[in-house]
RNA sequence: GGAGGCUUCGCCUAGUCCGGUCUAUGGCGCCGCACUGCUAAUGCGGUUUGGGUUAAUCCCCAUCCCGGGUUCAAAUCCCGGAGCCUCCGCCA
């Protein structure tokens, strides 16, 4: 949630942010009114409680003769306090409900507009040219024995898949490369839970407008995460972190689950948009004043990863109307999918400033030693299924084989190419005993 | 799934049986000051978090795992829940 002091002191800034998002501007004034009401209710209840406390002491000290009268007064006050506390709770709940409905304040440099108004920042890598008819990743994957959609549907339904043979090995290779890179950059590797409590989901801002996107396990009141960001952010809920040595960075691996409600008919083919995939996610806790620089660093790590995979891509600055609830700013990296002749989102990094940490009560001590909300940032290092799809397409060859980028070879037995029908028995990490 | 134990202001801890200056004790750590050639030791003072109020200080309210209840009054009594530990059962 956003900083209430900002709303009080600079409501126009928040109104402008709401406008930029295409969200309801009047919420800001409703919030201000609710805030004033809550403060009045708090003051009334506090004052009454103070009186009651004194009265309660008086009961104890009263002589036997005056005791009945004093007790009478204390009882009356107790009843008033009860009423005042009820009013306080109501006012507080009203404020909280409004507070939760307001998304993060957008960064001033965010481009205006909606989904189609992302601004291209740069393109990197040469678009490949093919002197044969380009196949899509599913055709290539099926020929390689790497992807089995039909049986995925048989077992789990639409948008489920099996990764088999070289596909399964590719998943591990990508995960290894991602985690290895992240650890080398100073990230703490984490295997995060994929089922979380409602609190963690709410804290990261996913339950509001994205509710339809989330799998819920009713019986146990748990959610399946759509990204390990949820667990990683929740990891330090209600803690005071020591960030004096710089940002605290985690690289989390987890399965991710998405209902994809409302995307019927979109990307129905292959493993570009699926209900479940595995992902290595970067997550950073840092001082608010460092957030923008950290955001650029996350973006850079994402770019380096795609460069290692030899995938051409472009970086886009997401427009205000297309930002998630928690994000003040978001950069996507879109990689080239030859079968579509288009760039498609492969990774995404968001600066959530103090929005998530305020909800989750994640703080660090400022220069005065006072706990203050930290900034949280997240970025995809590798969304594995979609990355496999992109790799297969970009690195395809006329004979149905697929070029293996050098960076992945250590985990694919040193093979420079994946070929239909190849034997996997030789695929082992070099240096391991046979 | 069953039985028992535990949870106090950074860490440890007193207090809970028997409700009332608990405005929560003490130790460690940390910060400041004094003493000291310097350090150590010692002494004195400070040190939970959130909210309200304020120009700021002061002050006020809440906070003893969480949520209810009883009471004029709850760390303390009652009910519900969470987490941790031990044992039994089951299990990869």
pLDDT at A431: 52
Share of chain A above pLDDT 90, in %: 75
Q: Nearest protein residue to B62's C1' (by CA)?
A: A46
**Rounded to an integer, what distance in angstroms lies between the CA atom of residue A292 and that of residue A300?**
13
Beta bridge mates, A256: A277
**Strands of the sheet with A215-217, listed across from one edge:** A195-196, A222-224, A215-217
Report CA(A10)–C1'(B46) in Å, whole number.
37
Task: Tell me the per-residue pLDDT of A229-276, one tens digit each, with 9 for 90 and over.
Answer: 999 999 988 888 888 889 999 999 999 999 998 887 888 899 999 999
Report CA(A220)–C1'(B92) in Å, whole number.
21
Report CA(A422)–C1'(B82) in Å, whole number.
54
Report CA(A42)–C1'(B58) in Å, whole number.
20
pLDDT-derived band of residue A314, with 50, 70 and 90 as boundaries? very high
Q: What share of chain A is helix, strand, coil (3-state, %, to 5)?
A: 45, 20, 35
Report CA(A116)–C1'(B84) in Å, whole number.
51
pLDDT at A209: 67
Whether pLDDT at A430 is above 60: no
Nucleotide nearest to A58 (CA to C1'): B72
Q: Nearest protein residue to B49's C1' (by CA)?
A: A371
Task: Tell me the per-residue pLDDT of A24-38, one tens digit each, with 9 for 90 and over.
Answer: 999 999 999 999 999
Q: Are strands A188-191 and A248-257 parallel, antiparallel or unpaired?
A: parallel
**Rounded to an integer, what distance in angstroms lies between the CA atom of residue A394 and that of residue A402?**
9
**Rounded to an integer, what distance in angstroms lies between the CA atom of residue A178 and that of residue A189?**
10
Question: Which residues of A are tagged catalytic?
Answer: 258, 273, 345, 348, 386
Q: Where are the beta strands (DSSP E) in A186-312?
A: 188-191, 195-196, 215-217, 222-224, 239-241, 248-257, 276-286
Report CA(A40)–C1'(B74) in Å, whole number.
27
Task: Tell me the per-residue pLDDT of A147-205, one tens digit each, with 9 for 90 and over.
Answer: 999 999 999 999 999 999 999 999 999 999 999 999 999 999 999 999 998 888 888 88
- Global pTM value: 0.93
Between A60 and A271, residue with greater pLDDT: A271
Report CA(A1)–C1'(B87) in Å, whole number.
45
Nucleotide nearest to A71 (CA to C1'): B72
Report CA(A68)–C1'(B74) in Å, whole number.
22
**Rounded to an integer, what distance in angstroms lies between the CA atom of residue A137 and that of residue A59?**
81
Report helix, strand or coil for A223. Answer: strand
**What ipTM is given for this predicted complex?**
0.85
Q: Looking at residues A296-304, what average pLDDT do you find?
A: 98
Nucleotide nearest to A43 (CA to C1'): B52
Near strand B (CB < 7 A), which residues? A 39, 42-43, 45-47, 49-50, 52-53, 55-57, 59-60, 71, 74-75, 77-78, 81, 363, 370-371
Whether pLDDT at A432 is above 60: no
Nucleotide nearest to A40 (CA to C1'): B52
Cα angle A417-A420-A421, degrees, rounded to a multiple of 5: 115
Protein-contacted bases of chain B (C-beta within 7 A): 20, 49-53, 60-62, 72-73
């Amino acid at each position: 949630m956003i900083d209430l002091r900002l709303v009080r002191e600079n409501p126009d800034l928040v109104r402008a942010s709401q406008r930029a998002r295409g969200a309801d501007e009047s919420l800001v004034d409703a919030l201000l009114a609710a805030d004033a009401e809550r403060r009045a209710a708090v003051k009334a209840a506090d004052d009454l409680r103070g009186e009651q406390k004194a009265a309660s002491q008086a009961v104890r000290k009263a002589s036997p003769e005056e005791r009945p009268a004093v007790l009478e007064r204390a009882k009356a006050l107790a009843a008033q306090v009860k009423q005042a506390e009820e009013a306080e709770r109501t006012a507080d709940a009203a404020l909280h409900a409004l507070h939760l409905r307001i998304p993060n304040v957008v960064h001033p440099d965010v481009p205006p507009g909606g989904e189609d108004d992302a601004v291209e920042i740069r393109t990197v890598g040469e678009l490949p040219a093919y002197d044969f008819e380009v196949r899509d990743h599913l055709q290539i994957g099926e020929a390689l024995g790497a992807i089995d959609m039909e049986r995925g549907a048989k077992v789990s339904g639409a948008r489920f898949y099996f990764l088999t043979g070289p596909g399964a090995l590719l998943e591990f290779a990508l995960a290894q490369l991602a985690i290895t890179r992240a650890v080398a950059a100073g990230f703490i590797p984490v295997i995060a839970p994929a089922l979380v409590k409602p609190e963690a989901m709410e804290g990261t801002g996913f339950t509001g407008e994205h509710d339809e996107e989330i799998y819920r396990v009713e019986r146990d009141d748990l959610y399946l995460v759509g990204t390990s960001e949820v667990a990683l952010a929740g990891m330090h809920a209600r803690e005071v972190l020591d960030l004096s040595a710089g940002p605290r960075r985690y690289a989390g691996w987890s399965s991710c689950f998405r209902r994809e409600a409302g995307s019927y008919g979109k990307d129905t083919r292959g493993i570009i948009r699926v209900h479940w995939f595995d992902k290595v996610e970067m997550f950073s806790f840092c001082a608010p004043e460092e957030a923008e620089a950290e955001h650029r660093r996350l973006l850079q790590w994402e770019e380096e990863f795609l460069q290692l995979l030899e995938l051409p891509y472009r970086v886009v600055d997401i427009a205000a109307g297309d930002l998630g609830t928690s994000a003040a700013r978001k950069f996507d990296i879109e990689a080239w999918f030859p079968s579509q002749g288009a760039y498609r989102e492969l990774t995404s990094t968001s600066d959530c400033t103090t929005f998530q940490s305020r909800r989750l009560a994640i703080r660090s001590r400022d220069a005065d030693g006072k706990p203050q909300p930290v900034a949280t940032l997240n970025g995809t290092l590798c969304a594995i299924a979609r990355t496999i799809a992109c790799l297969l397409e970009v690195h395809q060859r006329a004979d149905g084989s697929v070029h293996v980028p050098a960076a992945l070879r250590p985990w694919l037995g040193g093979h420079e190419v994946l070929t239909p029908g190849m034997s996997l028995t030789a695929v082992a990490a070099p240096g391991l005993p046979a």
